[in-house]
Structure 1
Amino acid sequence: MESLNFNSQERGLHQLQLVVKQLDSICMTWFKQLEIYLSDLYHNNLSHDVDAFKPAFRTFFSEEHQTFRSKMFHNMDQLRLQFERESLHKVNVKNCLEVLPTQFKEFFSSQGVNSLDHLHQCWQQDFKDYTYYEPKTYRRDLLKNMDILEDFIDKSVIKYGELRMKENEVNALKKTGKQLNAEILHEHKIEKSFNLQSKNVQINPVQAVDASLVVTKSSGIDSKNNILENALSKSMNETQMQMQEEKVNIGKAFDAGWVVIENSGTKSDKQETNSRSENYTTHAVYADIRPVNDQEPFANV
């Protein structure tokens, strides 16, 4: 919607630019026409016509011909400069144009132009001989030319104001459009960043299946490892138990050996004791039966 409005405003701006350009061209055309028309007041260099024209000019314009001519040249130059500048100076063009009617005010209101007395008719003829126009005809055409030029200048000033307003509107729309585009671009970047983050968070179904398979496989591997560890632990426990049992058996056997040995030793001791006892008995018997002379004498008291 904004794009359609902007395109419509641009088309309106382009049309106004064409209208202002066309009005500028028309104004310049009528300005040149006025310039040519005013040149008839001083382009005739014939001495006898100039001498006769000066009194008539002073009668109709209430000013010396040379003085009036200098002012007119200055005003026309200023008007030309304004037309040659940019449209920004259209108001100044209108102001410069308003100077000309003021300068020609006495001529436009002169009664001698339409007077029927002989003296004024002589001056009217002298004016015609110099400009090739009757005074009343020249005044009528000059007024018409100035009015047309002023009318086109007014139209040009109005259109120029509309053009400035339209340019401001289009520039505002451009600025708004740039800001809107920047905001949209910023929103797109945020949305893109959010989508990327969402993709990182969300799991693809295929990846989920693969992940579940990986989890299942890892769980299976873990369970197998647990089984193996349990079996190994059980085997080690059994081995340790067997080793402990063997140690116990060995200990028992070792203890039994010592018992046997001790028993044997006891028996041998008993035998030795018995032997000694027997020997002692025998010795005692022998002692009992030895002669009396063999007895040891009693100790002296």
Structure 2
Amino acid sequence: MEKKDTLSSCSESEEQQMQLIQDKSKESCMVSFQRLHSHLKRLLNNDLKGSRTEDGFKRAFTTLFCQDLETFTGTMFLNVDQLEKQLDNKEFQEIGSMASFKVLETQFQMFINSQIYLNDEYIVMTRNYFLEYTRLDIPEFRDTLIQNMDYVKKSIEKRALHKMEYDSRVNERLMQTTEEKVDSSKALDASLVIIESNGTESQEQDTSSRSGNDAHVDDADIRPIYNEEPMAEVQTTAEINIFATGQQHTELTNPVLTSQPMEQYKT
């Protein structure tokens, strides 16, 4: 019993440790996401809203992303919100999280693969407006974006691995618990069988004992019963018999003469 308690305690401790790893993995994942989110927010600088720099940046943005700023950023932040919901979900789902990440990554793929801002002198004005608006040069913004996206992707993969290990351990414990319950049930059934067996033997012995006692009782019941009468009644009966015998004797020895009229003798 002590060994079983020790194993159970170790299993619970291991499960708690794996849960802690899961929590840290989620925290790391959210930190990577927040870095990416903060970086993308550079595309919306409200401090320069309505300024000449904002107008120049919008033109530069259309050149770089082949889409206007409002449309692109509107879709981008919808994708970012969807990714955040997946990563912040208590029940982490690798497929959903990775799918949301891929959607966001695909949106920036053309910008990441484009080399126009590195080779064309015409892009000088675009680069200047981009730097003034985002506080980052175009190559730096691109490299940081790739780095942050890579961090998010790796954190998702790492979190998925930890979750798989955790789920595997939990399933193993459930199977172990189920087996222990089955073993306990079998042991209980065996105990009940032994108890029933002992009860049956005891009942048979009791029945045998009762049968023997019943035999003695039957013997006692078939003993002859003699009618015993009180001595006074016996004596009275005897006296009555003696009196009757004496009376009969007297009658035999002293016959009764029938009285006839005296006239017969006289004649």
**TM-score normalised according to structure 1 size:** 0.62
The aligned counterpart of 2:138 is 135
- 1:127 and 1:134 in contact (8 A); partners too: yes
Give me the CA root mean square deviation: 4.3
Distance 1:118 1:133 in 2: 19
Question: Which residue of the other structure, out of 39, 42, 45, is the alignment partner of 2:44?
Answer: 42
The aligned counterpart of 2:188 is 185
Distance 1:74 1:85 in 2: 17
Distance 1:197 1:171 in 2: 38
The aligned counterpart of 1:18 is 20
Q: Give the letter for the 1:93 counterpart.
A: S
Question: Which residue of the other structure, out of 133, 147, 150, is the alignment partner of 2:153?
Answer: 150
Q: Give the letter for the 2:139 counterpart.
A: K
- Superposition map of 1:92-241 within 5 A: 92-115=96-119, 117-196=120-199
The alpha-carbon deviation at position 200 of structure 1 amounts to: 6.0
Secondary structure class of the residue paired with 1:63: coil
Secondary structure class of the residue paired with 1:114: helix
The aligned counterpart of 1:57 is 61
Tell me how many residue pairs correspond in the alignment.
243
Please identify, of 23-32 and 9-18, the stretch whose mean Cα deviation from structure 2 is larger: 9-18
Distance 1:259 1:147 in 2: 153
Distance 1:134 1:3 in 2: 62
- 1:94 and 1:153 in contact (8 A); partners too: yes
- 1:30 and 1:148 in contact (8 A); partners too: yes
Distance 1:158 1:87 in 2: 14
Distance 1:128 1:59 in 2: 14
The aligned counterpart of 1:208 is none
Distance 2:72 2:252 in 1: 165
The alpha-carbon deviation at position 119 of structure 1 amounts to: 2.2
Identity of matched residues, %: 25
1:83 and 2:60 matched: no
- 2:60 and 2:127 in contact (8 A); partners too: yes
Distance 1:124 1:196 in 2: 96
Per-residue Cα deviation, 1:110-158 (whole angstroms, up to 9, x for no partner): 213333x532232212111000001111111111111111101001112
- 1:91 and 1:157 in contact (8 A); partners too: no
1:70 and 2:74 matched: yes
The alpha-carbon deviation at position 60 of structure 1 amounts to: 2.2
Which ranges of structure 2 fall in alignment gaps of 5 or more residues? 207-212, 229-233, 255-267
Q: Give the letter for the 1:145 counterpart.
A: N
- 2:86 and 2:92 in contact (8 A); partners too: no
Q: Give the letter for the 1:32 counterpart.
A: Q
- 1:124 and 1:135 in contact (8 A); partners too: yes
Residues 45 and 259 (structure 1 numbering): CA distance in 2 closer, same or farther, change over 3 Å?
closer
The alpha-carbon deviation at position 44 of structure 1 amounts to: 3.8
Q: Give the letter for the 2:104 counterpart.
A: L
Q: Give the letter for the 2:134 counterpart.
A: T
- 1:9 and 1:166 in contact (8 A); partners too: no
Q: In terms of Rg, which structure is larger? A: 1
**TM-score normalised according to structure 2 size:** 0.69
Residues 130 and 199 (structure 1 numbering): CA distance in 2 closer, same or farther, change over 3 Å?
same
Distance 2:125 2:251 in 1: 182
